[in-house]
Amino acid sequence: MTLAAQDVSVSIGRKPIVQDVSLTAEAGEFTAIVGPNGSGKTTLMRALTGELAHRGRITLNDQDITALAPEALARRRGVLPQAAALSFPFTVAEVVRIGLEARGERADALIPAALAAVDLPDFSGRLYQQLSGGEQQRVQLARVLAQVWNPVDEQGARWLFLDEPVSSLDIAHQLTVMRLAADYARRGGGVIAVMHDLNLTALFAQKVILLGRGEVLSQGTPAEVMTDATLSNAYGCDLRVNKVPTEGIWILPQVAA
């Protein structure tokens, strides 16, 4: 089961944002999309999930996403955006239930399981607006998990699309989320995540797609993509791989699994 994009381009108004991107991502793997600000990562993600009109072809599990009804697409993939604002005073349980309703179910027994997975086991009755930014981000992830809870069903692999899933989180919860995504892939689902943290990407991703100015600069394993020359060229600054700074301190999580 594969997500495949062939010659995909996206424009906002008259401005081209993503240009002739071709890529593949396999179910059972964690695929990370990285690149500097403005490189088109989120725009590409929104095209891959069917949220933005695009030129070219995108298939999910061999089906063209433009041919899938919204309900069918919602049963095959869950999407975590960068930010989600709610105007009404929903409880945490009600937010997670939105994910269940997106796939046409009311399996409320999944709500506590999804919240436990993101380390919020006792938050069901709390108001979403009263949570911290990091807690809200994890509630939204629980919603997405509830939507595509089983990584594989009778129709094949399901997919998690995560746009900067650790941006508001402390180190411990960054690892919680990354382990959760990696486990989803290990159990046969597909995971595609827009990432800014290159160290976490190197720890967890099996495939990396590096964007620059709306184009794919490199794609392959972390070792293949994350070289001094490739990263320095993409980010426009001098970067070195696997070299500890000579001054100051350097803090990295040491256990990925």
Q: Which domains does the chain have, with CATH numbers?
A: 2-235 (3.40.50.300)
**pLDDT at position 80:** 97
Q: What is the 3-state secondary structure (H, E, C) of the chain?
A: CEEEEEEEEEEECCEEEEEEEEEEEECCCEEEEECCCCCCHHHHHHHHCCCCCCEEEEEECCEEHHHCCHHHHHHHEEEECCCCCCCCCCEHHHHHHHHHHHCCCCCCCHHHHHHHHCCCCCCCCCEHHHCCHHHHHHHHHHHHHHHCCCCEECCEECEEEEECCCCCCCHHHHHHHHHHHHHHHHCCCEEEEECCCHHHHHHHCCEEEEEECCEEEEEECHHHHCCHHHHHHHHCCCCCCCCCCCCCCCCCCCCCC
**pLDDT at position 101:** 87
User: What does pTM read for this prediction?
Assistant: 0.93
**pLDDT at position 251:** 64
Ranges of the chain with pLDDT below 70? 105-106, 243-245, 249-257
**pLDDT at position 245:** 66
- pLDDT one-digit tens code per residue, 120-147: 999 999 999 999 999 999 999 999 999 9
